[in-house]
Copies of this chain bind each other. A is one copy, B any other.
Amino acid sequence: MRHFSTSIRVYYEDTDVGGIVYHANYLKFMERARTEWLRSIGCEQPQLLAQNIAFAVVSADIQFKKPARFNDELIVSCQLMKIGHASLQFEQKITLKQNNNHLLSQASIKVACVNLDTMSPRTFPPNLLEDLTCDI
């Protein structure tokens, strides 16, 4: 199981009147990390979309432990834990770069491979499955 992470800067747009990152935006950051992880194993999603294939989030179980703040540099990790018939299970963490990778948030996220037209689950394209299997 390969460790993958990407760096994300917190901008004004990500914050709220409480002075911290708006909670729903952590899910955006985690999705950016999954996108970069897919790219790192050679999968560019527009090529999937052109074949009418997309990834859809099925469930997310997320804990918000400490707040991220404006201008923070975050490290967002992404680990593929399990490859199902038509789904992927990830563990993801968001840590604070400038503070010894202090844990801010963690989540278990399940993503399905779907037909874009119908949004119904479908098996992974063979090439993609091979790349995924190498990574777990």
A residues whose Cβ falls under 8 Å from a Cβ of B:
9, 11-13, 15-20, 22-25, 27-28, 31-32, 35, 44-46, 49, 54, 56-64, 66-67, 69-71, 116, 119
Chain B residue, CB-CB nearest to A20:
B119
In the complex this chain forms, how many copies of it are found?
Answer: 4
Known: A15-B16, A17-B70, A59-B64. 17 other contacts (CB 8 A): A11-B28, A12-B16, A12-B18, A12-B31, A13-B32, A18-B49, A18-B54, A18-B56, A19-B116, A20-B56, A23-B31, A24-B31, A44-B71, A56-B64, A57-B64, A59-B62, A67-B119
> Considering residues A25, A60, A67, which has the most beta carbons from chain B within 10 angstroms of its beta carbon?
A60
